[in-house]
Amino acid sequence: MVSKQFSRILVAEDEPDMLQSFKLLLEDMGNEVVTTKDGQECLDAYCKSSKTTSGGFDLVLLDYKIPRKNGIEVAREIEAMAPSQKLLMITAYAGIIDPAQKPQNMKIIAKPYDVDELIGMIRNLTQ
């Protein structure tokens, strides 16, 4: 059993099976999870949450290749709104991401990934 953390995490992933897998893993870790299926929906959820008393998200987990706005576009818009927001991109396209365009607070894990590595990264980012 994974130890509990109780962080709020926003996930943007267009593949339904992957989205469900992330949701189950993150909830098993004790997190509150909000899921979105594309970049614009992710930004809308982020903006809506930042205006509520819940205080936004501890982590935003993004896929690179998502509809309407890709993960880098979403990450850069979030960074412009909240420069200290922690971001984690999980992608099969890690090699094509230009380091100059990557937000400073964004970490990247390449697919395929090791689940223990992912859990460790999430723990580090949400502490």
pLDDT tens for each residue of 55-100: 789 999 999 999 999 999 999 999 999 999 999 999 887 777 777 7
pTM attached to this predicted model: 0.89
Q: Which residue has the tokens 């309407």?
A: 68
Please, which pLDDT band fits residue 22 given cuts at 50, 70 and 90?
Answer: very high
Range list of β-strands (E), the chain: 8-12, 32-36, 59-62, 87-91, 106-110
Q: What is the CATH number assigned to the segment(s) 8-126?
A: 3.40.50.2300
pLDDT for residue 21: 96
Name the residue ranges covered by the structural domains of the chain: 8-126
How many C-beta neighbours within 10 Å does residue 1 have? 5
Q: What is the distance of C-alpha 82 from the center of its chain?
A: 14
Give the span between the Cα atoms of 24 and 48, in whole angstroms: 23
